[in-house]
């Protein structure tokens, strides 16, 4: 039997309860920069009015349930407008079924072919082997280590800085005049 299809669509305020469910799991929020005890209303507001019009927030739906989310957040400063920060999370019960891959594929296509983003950046805890492997499959490289970057379960933990440069930066399609 072929695996159930994974639908990726833009997130909206009605997804707030699903975000709370996803972000309540220490295995998920502990690996992000989120805090325990997420609130439905604050997620509703965040999803209703993203930080900017070009910020992309998507969810992955499997068997009719939201099982993952991902975001691409363009940088505002003029000289950094070719850059965006990426974040991703998949519910533990749905991991290792290709959901993360589908979310990454969607964000990379958006960045490469539509959004004029040439550099996608992120940070990942140094012991998060699953996420590091996923990012490397999509062409991200490790650029360095931020030491004692964030508090996690009572300890300051290191993160890797990773980034992916556009594999084939866009050119002018109509040729020289
Ligand atoms: C990292 C994460 C997004 C991966 O999502 P996923 O849906 O399980 O990923 P996929 O099923 O698409 O797996 C894609 C690839 O990632 C790598 N991978 C995923 N889980 C892995 C694991 N537990 N160990 C090693 N590699 C793993 C593998 O290369 C895998 O390909 P394969 O299954 O063909 O070997 C997910 O584990 C997650 O959300 N973790 C908690 C939150 C988090 O860490 N977010 C990232 C913060 S920087």
DSSP label of 2? P
Q: 105 CB under 6 A from ligand 1? A: no
Q: 34 CB under 6 A from ligand 1? A: no
Q: Is residue 113 part of a domain?
A: yes
Look up the domain containing 116 and give its range.
Answer: 6-121
Q: 88 CB under 6 A from ligand 1? A: yes
Q: Which tokens sit at 136? A: 């490397």
Q: In residues, how long is the chain?
A: 177
Q: Is residue 101 part of a domain?
A: yes
pTM: 0.95
Cα separation, 40 vs 3, in Å, equals: 31
Question: Mean pLDDT by 10-residue block, N- to C-terminus, for the chain (177 residues)?
Answer: 87 96 96 95 91 91 97 96 98 97 98 96 98 98 98 98 97 77
Q: Is residue 42 part of a domain?
A: yes
Q: Is residue 152 part of a domain?
A: no
Q: Is residue 175 part of a domain?
A: no
Cα separation, 113 vs 168, in Å, equals: 10
User: In CATH, what number is assigned to the domain containing residue 93?
Assistant: 3.40.630.30
- What pLDDT score does 2 carry? 73
Q: 90 CB under 6 A from ligand 1? A: yes
Q: In total, how many domains does the chain have?
A: 1
- What pLDDT score does 177 carry? 63
Q: Is residue 40 part of a domain?
A: yes
CA-CA distances (angstroms) from residue 123 to 33, 49, 88, 112, 151?
10, 24, 11, 20, 14
Q: Is residue 37 part of a domain?
A: yes
Q: Is residue 64 part of a domain?
A: yes
- In the reported structure, the alpha carbon of residue 77 is separated from the centroid of ligand 1 by a whole-number distance in angstroms of 31
Q: Which tokens sit at 39? A: 């609130």
Q: 31 CB under 6 A from ligand 1? A: yes
- In the reported structure, the alpha carbon of residue 28 is separated from the centroid of ligand 1 by a whole-number distance in angstroms of 11
Region of 50 (left: φ > 0; alpha: ψ -120 to 50; beta: rest) is beta
């Amino acid at each position: 039997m072929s695996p159930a299809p994974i639908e990726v669509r833009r997130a909206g305020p009605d997804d707030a309860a699903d975000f709370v469910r996803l972000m309540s799991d220490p295995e998920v929020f502990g690996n992000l920069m989120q805090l325990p005890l997420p609130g439905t209303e604050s997620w509703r507001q965040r999803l209703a009015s993203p930080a900017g019009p070009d910020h992309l927030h998507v969810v992955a739906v499997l068997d009719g349930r939201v099982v993952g989310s991902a975001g691409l957040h363009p940088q505002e400063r003029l000289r950094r407008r070719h850059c965006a920060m990426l974040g991703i999370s998949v519910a533990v019960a749905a991991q290792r079924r290709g959901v993360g891959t589908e979310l990454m594929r969607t964000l990379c296509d958006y960045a490469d072919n539509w959004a004029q983003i040439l550099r996608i950046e992120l940070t990942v805890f140094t012991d998060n082997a699953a996420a590091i492997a996923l990012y490397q499959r999509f062409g991200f490289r490790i650029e360095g280590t931020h030491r004692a970057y964030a508090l996690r379960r009572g300890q300051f933990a290191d993160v890797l800085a990773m980034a992916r440069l556009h594999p084939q930066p866009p050119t002018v399609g109509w040729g020289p005049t």
